[in-house]
Amino acid sequence: MLSGRRFIAFGLNHLTARVATSLMEQGARVVVIGDPEADDDARESADQLNERCRIVDPGFDRDHALVDAGLPGAAGLLLLGGDDLENLRTAAAAHSLAPDVPVVMRTFQPELVDEVSEQFNIRRAYSVAALAAPTFVGAAFGEDVLQTLRLGDEEVPLCVLEVAAVSPLVGKSAEEVKEAFECAVVAISSGPDRWKAVTDSPEPIRADDHVLVGGRQIDVLRLAMVNDPSEGVSAAGAKRSPVGERAGAAAQHTRAALPRLLMVGVALFVVFFVANLVVNTTALKMGVLDALLAALATSVGNVPPTAEQSWVKLFHLGAMAAGVVLPWIVLSYITALVLAERLELRMAKRAQRMENHVVLVGLDRVGYRVAQLLAELQIPTVVMEREPDSAFLEAIATDFPVLRGDGRLPENLERCNIARARCVIACTDDDLANLATCREARRLQPGIRTVLRAFDETVGGRLAEAFAIDATLSSTSVASRAFVGAAIDEYAMRPIEMGGLQLAAFRFSPKHTITPDGLARWRKKGMRVLALDHEGEIMPPTVALHRSIEAGDAAIVVGPASLIRELAEAY
């Protein structure tokens, strides 16, 4: 399929390895720019790629590395490094060397890159965390998010729902579901591999059907929530530890994480105090008791005893300055520790009052996006993060109780009130830690649903199966489909295969207006609009029933692959 096409990937990590492997399996040649010895991630990825593609060490000359990798004439450049600024700099350098080569870029904030996309020929910009988050949240409700597309600053997922007997979807037609839940039903299956695209048929949805639905992220996941028949888990007979014990554990963890500056401040204070004591007893010939009193007074910034020697005066001047600064450093950190301990106690108390909640363990970029989405859905959640300096702690603490600790320890999971939780999402960057967290959660609460994040999907999947983990997901696997699709297709279409039904989804910007009547004709053939961007406002699919899609608008459309390509070429 891609025979003879050459792609350049910048950055050496798990995502690069997965994207490069997918492209090579389709016949493309791939050259990777990255340092195989940069870190463990780079070394593992280089080993995974092995001899299958050429790896160019970038050294200190980005331009030379791009030329050496064969950028001029390449089919595409994929910027997959974890540093947004480095990716953007590389996009600028690549544009000056080969302005016709399209760029697909990884970034934490794609909406910012969109502003310079035309300037640097950036075809698409994606956030791995934003693409993966709906998949993790959907898995918490037993649903399967197949794809996540982006429209403006909104994510637009496609999700497969198994219609429960008590689901509000039962008995409704596809159009009635759209009106009631602002989600488009794209395809329906009444049995294994019996998928068919939805037209304007009034045929009702039945219990046990599977439906492929899409729309704005919040609407799709809310539909998944109301379709989930789970009433939560019973806490009858569950062991619950006293909140005081949990607060004690939290305080112990906080004390163990004393900032280094505090330790340095205490050490310097002791040094100046001892130095004061020595000067007072030797240079000023003071008695031990008087020397102690004078040293203490000077060490906290008070006026030192009178001295004749110039060097003693200079020493006292420095001691007074240190006596003003160092005690305030020590006292400010002690105050901060007391406040942190009280905050941890309040968080622990909030967690103990929760029921039928989600426990999210891990707050890196993916965990943060998952937590954001859970907050937007107003799903009660307790977050646990073992790193005290996570960049996202303060932001998430405004929505949920955030406890610090290692999710592998049963005491920490009990602090999260795991006995009353409905689901645990183990989302750290450590596969083994995630597996241990899910196993421990299942031991403490046998009915809990477990969702595990795994970088090594093969090994992680086998271990998860052995330990009966409900869902094993890889954020790089979820995201790689978007990067590969954007690299190989100028329309950046996403192929979706549903039991023999070939669908495609993509972000569509018509060159001229499509009227409501024109949209209705496409809809009868199986095309569905999932979301519409009009002047920055992201609208649900119901809007497309009554208004035109104008030139300058953008829409996420999905339907049979041949039909969607026909639409793209027609407009």
pTM of the model: 0.77
Which has more pLDDT, 266 or 162? 162
Residue 393 gets the label, from left (phi > 0), alpha (psi -120 to 50) or beta, of alpha
**pLDDT value at residue 369:** 95
- Residue 242 placed within a domain: no
102 and 223 housed in the same domain: no
514 and 464 housed in the same domain: no
Residue 194's SS3 state is coil
Q: Report how far residue 426's alpha carbon sits from residue 470's, in angstroms, rounded to the nearest whole number.
A: 12
Lowest mean pLDDT among 61-75, 199-213, 291-305, 539-553: 291-305
Mean pLDDT of all residues in 377-389: 91
361 and 386 housed in the same domain: yes
Q: Report how far residue 366's alpha carbon sits from residue 139's, in angstroms, rounded to the nearest whole number.
A: 14
- Residue 39 placed within a domain: yes
Q: Return phi, psi of residue 50, to 5°.
A: 50, -130
* Residues 482, 131 contacting (CB under 8 angstroms): yes
463 and 414 housed in the same domain: yes
* Per-residue pLDDT reduced to its tens digit, 177-231: 999 999 999 999 987 778 999 986 678 999 999 999 999 999 999 999 888 765 4
pLDDT at residue 336 is higher than 70: no
Q: Report how far residue 58's alpha carbon sits from residue 11's, in angstroms, rounded to the nearest whole number.
A: 9
Longest dimension (CA), the chain: 103
Q: What are the helix (H) ranges across 364-456?
A: 365-376, 393-397, 410-415, 431-444
- Degrees, nearest 5: CA angle 536-399-249: 150
Q: Return phi, psi of residue 145, to 5°.
A: -85, 115
* Per-residue pLDDT reduced to its tens digit, 471-482: 999 999 889 989
* Per-residue pLDDT reduced to its tens digit, 216-252: 999 999 999 888 765 444 333 333 334 334 434 444 4
Q: Report how far residue 40's alpha carbon sits from residue 227's, in angstroms, rounded to the nearest whole number.
A: 42
**pLDDT value at residue 254:** 41
Residue 501's SS3 state is strand
**pLDDT value at residue 235:** 36
How far apart, in Å, are the Cα atoms of 197 and each of 39, 373, 491, 512, 557? Answer: 46, 29, 22, 27, 13
- Residue 241 placed within a domain: no
User: 457-466 vs 431-444: helix axis angle to the nearest 10?
Assistant: 20
Question: H/E/C letters for each residue in 99-165?
Answer: CCCCEEEECCCHHHHHHHCCCCCEEEEECHHHHHHHHHHHHHCCCEEEEEEEECCEEEEEEEEECCC
Report helix, strand and coil shares of the chain as percent, to nearest 5: 45, 20, 35
**pLDDT value at residue 219:** 95
- Residue 237 placed within a domain: no
Provide, rounded to the nearest whole percent, the portion of the chain with pLDDT above 90. Answer: 59
Q: Report how far residue 424's alpha carbon sits from residue 484's, in angstroms, rounded to the nearest whole number.
A: 31
* Per-residue pLDDT reduced to its tens digit, 10-52: 999 999 999 999 999 999 999 999 999 999 889 999 998 988 8
Residue 558 gets the label, from left (phi > 0), alpha (psi -120 to 50) or beta, of beta
**pLDDT value at residue 230:** 59
- Residue 282 placed within a domain: yes
Provide, rounded to the nearest whole percent, the portion of the chain with pLDDT above 70. Answer: 89
366 and 457 housed in the same domain: yes
Q: Fill in the amino acid letter for 253.
A: H
Q: Return phi, psi of residue 324, to 5°.
A: -80, -40
Domain tally for the chain?
4
**pLDDT value at residue 460:** 66
**pLDDT value at residue 348:** 76
286 and 304 housed in the same domain: yes
Which has more pLDDT, 185 or 281? 185
- Measured between its terminal Cα atoms, the distance across the chain in Å is 26
Q: Report how far residue 253's alpha carbon sits from residue 402's, in angstroms, rounded to the nearest whole number.
A: 14
**pLDDT value at residue 379:** 93
CATH number at residue 448: 3.40.50.720
Give the CA-trace dihedral at 510, 151, 30, 65, to 10 degrees. Answer: 100
Q: Report how far residue 122's alpha carbon sits from residue 111's, in angstroms, rounded to the nearest whole number.
A: 12
* Per-residue pLDDT reduced to its tens digit, 509-542: 998 999 999 999 999 999 999 999 999 899 999 9
Q: Report how far residue 23's alpha carbon sits from residue 135's, in angstroms, rounded to the nearest whole number.
A: 23
Q: Return phi, psi of residue 409, to 5°.
A: -90, 130
481 and 382 housed in the same domain: yes
34 and 117 housed in the same domain: yes
Site of tokens 């600024």: 85
363 and 335 housed in the same domain: no
Q: Report how far residue 319's alpha carbon sits from residue 421's, in angstroms, rounded to the nearest whole number.
A: 56
CATH number at residue 313: 1.10.287
CA neighbor of 416 nearest in space, from 446, 384, 385, 392:
384
Mean pLDDT of all residues in 300-320: 76
500 and 473 housed in the same domain: no
* Per-residue pLDDT reduced to its tens digit, 435-492: 999 999 999 999 999 999 998 766 666 777 788 899 999 999 889 989 999 999 877 8
Give the structural domain span for 549: 143-227+489-570
Please list the residues that pair with 184 across neighbouring strands: 214
**pLDDT value at residue 343:** 62
391 and 439 housed in the same domain: yes
334 and 265 housed in the same domain: yes
**pLDDT value at residue 104:** 97
- Residue 366 placed within a domain: yes
Lowest mean pLDDT among 308-312, 391-395, 479-483, 493-497: 308-312
Q: Report how far residue 408's alpha carbon sits from residue 417's, in angstroms, rounded to the nearest whole number.
A: 14
Q: Supply 52's token pair.
A: 């299958």
- Residue 349 placed within a domain: no
Out of 314, 342, 370, pick the residue that ends a domain: 342
Based on DSSP, count helices (H) and strands (E) in the chain, helices before strands.
20, 22
Which has more pLDDT, 8 or 393? 8
Q: Supply 510's token pair.
A: 């018509």
Out of 126, 158, 189, pick the residue that ends a domain: 126
Mean pLDDT of all residues in 124-132: 94
**pLDDT value at residue 115:** 87
Average pLDDT of the chain? Answer: 86
Q: Report how far residue 287's alpha carbon sits from residue 277's, in angstroms, rounded to the nearest whole number.
A: 10
Out of 488, 506, 522, pick the residue that ends a domain: 488
- Residue 86 placed within a domain: yes
